[in-house]
Amino acid sequence: MKIVIAGAGETGSHLSKILSQESQDITILDANEAKLKQLKMTLNIKTVAGQAISIASLKESGVADADLFVAVTPSETENITACVLASKLGAKKTLSRIDNSEYLLPENKEFFQQLGISSMVYPEHLAGSEIINALKATWQREYMAFENGTMLLVGIKVRSNAEIVNKQFSSGYFDHTHYRIVAIKRPDQTIIPKGSDRILPNDLVYFITAPEDLDFVRQQAGKEEYEVQNIMIMGGSRIAECTAAQLPDHMRVKLIEIDKDKCHLLGEKLNNILVINGDGRDVELLKEEDIEDMDAFVALTDNSETNILACSVAKRFGIKKTIAEIENIEYIPMSESLDIGAILNKKLLTASHLYQLTLNANISNVKCLTNVEAVVMEFVVKEGSRVTQDSVRDLQLPNNVNIGGLIRNGKGITVNGNTVIQPNDHVIVFCMSDSVQKLDAFFH
């Protein structure tokens, strides 16, 4: 597939990194020559220095025969214009990053398609949905549902009190159908578990399980269940607005924003939350606003360092669930080591969404995980696929690939070595980024 990406920021860079590992024909267009030079040194891509809305630069990047044109510059106007131009110049599909949720309304879809924009992504809306999921899944760090929740992927930070700690996989302890552990993340490595591996305290463990077994997973991981009702949000960003728009009725929110004018605007827009003008870094203000009574704290300012520090402070007040927006991707490993709670990065969420558009039609769902260089994919199995021709144990799957579960006739099933995959199964695969391309041969 020939793909042109306009915008070499973190979203464009991360997307090109994933795609270049699959030997896709990638060209990045950006005005920042230094950034392009750095990307070309580390990735197998082509680069073009120029503006996304320059017809000459678009032609030079090869949009005339591009299968997909993706515009992810910081400017919504530039992205939309670039997609219109790219479409007129011959790009088969175009996708624009936008800042206006109105554009996503169903009644506007045909209008933008007539302009030549195939689809749009609003990162803040994706982030808001992710926050709502995290507030519902209180004892989990990451959560992903497949086929309307028939199977789940959950990432859980386990402590020394967990039953599963220090149990070798070869011991038979994990030989049951309640869940399958597909990966273990430690500060310095990601492990696809084999017989001699074991789970250690403070590992981030990824489980595939069915909803009816989720409580069993929670008990095994040594976690307590609690409901989030009272939430404090720091920062009146667009993500905060998108989160407020998706809040369940039982959740009550106090939002602290330092800018007085923005507070007035938010107060008019968001009738379901209490907006407070103040500095969320002020510990005395947090006490006055009853931070100790909160079930969750969500830090959504534009500053990653502020969000990390704020969640650390909230943890000291005894808040169990903290969520930090961390837009500097290089800060994510440090944040994980500080144990601040769930991490949100809208650029990674956007890259996951865009990545799915480049994959085969038989992949119905994909997510790039925040804490590891890995993706989780849901394949719909075709008749005659190689993956149906032997038991999972004898398939000789690539290294760093783990099939965790499948959905058959609407029922979720955890996978083991004896499982034989059938046509039309929805198969959930955990895969390190460098092994994605090798899976094609098994599911074609």
User: Is 156:140 a contact under the CB 8 Å cutoff?
Assistant: yes
> What's the confidence (pLDDT) of residue 162?
95
For residue 191, tell me if it sits in a domain.
no
Q: Last residue of some domain: 280, 300, 319? A: 319
> What's the confidence (pLDDT) of residue 333?
78
- The β-bridge relationship of strands 151-157 and 142-146 is antiparallel
| AA letter at 84 | V
For residue 194, tell me if it sits in a domain.
no
For residue 343, tell me if it sits in a domain.
no
Tell me the β-bridge partners of 71. 6, 96
List the chain pLDDT tens, one digit each, 444 residues. 899 999 999 889 888 887 876 667 999 999 999 999 999 998 889 999 999 999 999 999 999 999 999 999 999 999 999 999 999 999 999 999 999 889 999 999 999 999 999 999 999 999 999 999 889 888 988 888 898 889 999 999 999 999 999 999 999 899 999 999 999 998 778 888 988 899 999 999 999 999 999 999 999 999 988 899 999 999 999 999 999 989 998 999 999 999 999 999 999 988 889 999 999 999 999 999 999 999 999 999 999 999 999 999 999 999 989 999 998 878 887 777 777 888 898 888 888 788 777 766 577 788 777 767 788 889 999 999 999 999 999 999 988 899 999 999 999 999 998 999 999 999 999 988 777 778 888 887
In the sheet with 426-432, reading across from the earlier edge strand, the strands are 363-368, 374-380, 426-432, 401-408, 411-414
Q: Alpha-carbon distance 69 to 110, whole Å?
A: 19
On the 0-12 / 13-18 / 19+ scale of CB atoms within 10 A, 398 is middle
> What's the confidence (pLDDT) of residue 319?
94
List the domain range (segments joined by +) for residue 25. 2-121
Which candidate, 168, 167, 144, 184, places its Cα nearest to that of 400? 184
> What's the confidence (pLDDT) of residue 88?
97
On the 0-12 / 13-18 / 19+ scale of CB atoms within 10 A, 102 is exposed
Q: What is the pTM of this model?
A: 0.84
| AA letter at 80 | I
For residue 382, tell me if it sits in a domain.
no
A 10 A CB-CB count for 2 gives 17
The structural domain count of the chain equals: 2
Q: What is the CATH number of the domain that holds 264?
A: 3.40.50.720
Q: Last residue of some domain: 265, 284, 319? A: 319
Which candidate, 264, 295, 291, places its Cα nearest to that of 277? 264
For 325, list phi and psi in degrees, rounded to 5.
-80, 120
> What's the confidence (pLDDT) of residue 293?
94
Q: Last residue of some domain: 100, 121, 142? A: 121
For residue 13, tell me if it sits in a domain.
yes
